[in-house]
């Protein structure tokens, strides 16, 4: 796993030139890349959500596209549209902004559910269908969607089916005092994103994605993962628990986290570190829990304390 660890370290170190003091969030982003998943970045404005997406694209030399979601946006504004060319007397496909390797879906909860649904096929099937013609998306393909939790005016909640398509939910948060001072110093003359260089290739990413799949997960750990997810469905405060896709997320993300730490086997600590970002957005709380202002993270922390952690030798 040394090749995956080296790849991840180069990527993380490069992104840290732009995103200061948020190594954990950057690690989760790299885990999402290695798992070929999509990320939901939820936080207040100005914390670096857009810069994180641009930094990842620049570091890998990938094509980058930004979609600014608005209430009047149509699905064709995302996927593309067929336009009649009078000169050739044929319809020509004009690709939409979704046809890129790294796609930033900015303020995704400002679009109507109909437009949000246009992303479902792209995120799950890696393809778009316009006028009955299916077109594959470039590889690698990753959607980083952002939403601002404090701006409820003019927003639409994401459908449960779309929330479930996101591998992880990340929160950047405000930087610490020293980190914010470093941000001021780094941007005195120009933004670090302008000089950010490519440090890895798409071929290296694809090789790392394949290598991660070989990371060993002990049978007791698989049972631990499924036990955690099943208990979210049985919790009295949860109306709808995590689906089997939540179990798969913990499994795959655990493999990726172990690999970037240089291990070829998963530890319980890998699973525990990923439970909140992997399952927090998948729980639908019941009315009584919402009235008591209980957060999904509280329920997951409670489950982490209750579910027995497997021990013994977990190496292959």
Give residue 154's pLDDT: 54
Q: How many whole angstroms separate alpha carbon 109 and alpha carbon 16?
A: 27
Burial of 248 by CB count in 10 Å (0-12 exposed, 13-18 middle, 19+ buried)? middle
pTM higher than the cut 0.95: no
Burial of 238 by CB count in 10 Å (0-12 exposed, 13-18 middle, 19+ buried)? buried
Rg (CA), the chain: 20
Q: What is the DSSP pairing of strand 102-106 with strand 64-68?
A: parallel
| 247 token code pair | 């179990």
Q: Which of 33, 21, 20 is nearest to 260 (CA)?
A: 33
pLDDT tens for 76-99 read 888 888 888 888 888 888 888 999
Tens-level pLDDT at each residue, the chain (316 residues): 688 999 999 999 999 999 988 899 999 999 999 999 999 988 777 778 888 999 999 999 999 999 988 888 888 888 888 888 888 888 888 888 999 999 999 888 888 888 887 788 888 888 888 877 888 899 899 999 988 765 555 566 777 777 888 999 998 888 889 988 988 888 888 888 988 899 999 999 999 999 999 999 999 999 999 999 999 998 888 888 898 999 999 999 999 999 999 999 999 999 999 999 999 999 888 888 888 888 889 999 999 999 998 887 778 8
What is the architecture of the domain spanning 213-306?
Orthogonal Bundle (1.10)
Q: What is the CATH number of domain 2-72+100-208?
A: 3.40.50.300
2-72+100-208 and 213-306, same CATH topology:
no
Give residue 121's pLDDT: 80
The full set of domain ranges for the chain reads 2-72+100-208, 213-306
| 293 token code pair | 């202002």
Q: Which of 236, 234, 248, 220 is nearest to 310 (CA)?
A: 220
Give residue 131's pLDDT: 79
Give residue 205's pLDDT: 93
Yes or no: say if 281 and 37 are a contact pair by the CB < 8 Å rule.
Answer: no
Yes or no: say if 252 and 296 are a contact pair by the CB < 8 Å rule.
Answer: no
Yes or no: say if 128 and 121 are a contact pair by the CB < 8 Å rule.
Answer: yes
Q: What is the DSSP pairing of strand 168-170 with strand 39-42?
A: parallel
């Amino acid at each position: 796993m040394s090749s995956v660890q080296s790849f991840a370290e180069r990527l993380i170190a490069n992104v840290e030139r732009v995103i200061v003091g948020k190594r954990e969030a950057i690690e989760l982003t790299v885990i999402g890349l290695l798992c070929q998943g999509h990320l939901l970045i939820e936080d207040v404005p100005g914390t670096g959500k857009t810069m994180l997406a641009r930094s990842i694209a620049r570091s890998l030399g990938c094509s980058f596209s930004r979609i600014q979601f608005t209430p009047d946006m149509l699905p064709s504004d995302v996927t593309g549209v067929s336009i009649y060319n009078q000169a050739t007397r044929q319809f020509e496909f004009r690709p939409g902004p979704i046809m890129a390797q790294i796609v930033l879906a900015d303020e995704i909860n400002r679009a109507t559910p109909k437009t949000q649904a246009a992303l479902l096929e792209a995120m799950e099937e890696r393809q778009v269908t316009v006028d009955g013609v299916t077109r594959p998306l470039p590889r690698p393909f990753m959607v980083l969607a952002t939403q601002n939790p404090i701006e409820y005016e003019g927003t639409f909640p994401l459908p449960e089916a779309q929330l479930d398509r996101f591998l992880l939910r990340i929160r950047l948060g405000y930087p610490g005092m020293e980190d914010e001072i470093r941000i001021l110093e780094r941007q005195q003359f120009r933004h670090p994103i302008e000089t950010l260089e490519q440090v890895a290739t798409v071929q290296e990413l694809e090789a790392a994605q394949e290598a991660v799949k070989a990371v060993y997960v002990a049978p007791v750990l698989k049972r631990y993962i499924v036990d955690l997810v099943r208990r979210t469905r049985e919790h009295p405060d949860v109306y709808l628990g995590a689906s089997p896709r939540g179990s798969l997320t913990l499994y795959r993300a655990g493999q990726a986290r172990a690999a970037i730490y240089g291990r070829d086997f998963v530890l319980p600590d890998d699973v525990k570190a990923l439970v909140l970002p992997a399952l927090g957005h998948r729980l639908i709380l019941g009315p009584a829990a919402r009235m008591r202002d209980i957060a999904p993270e509280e329920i997951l922390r409670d489950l982490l304390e209750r579910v027995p952690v497997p021990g013994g030798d977990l190496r292959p």
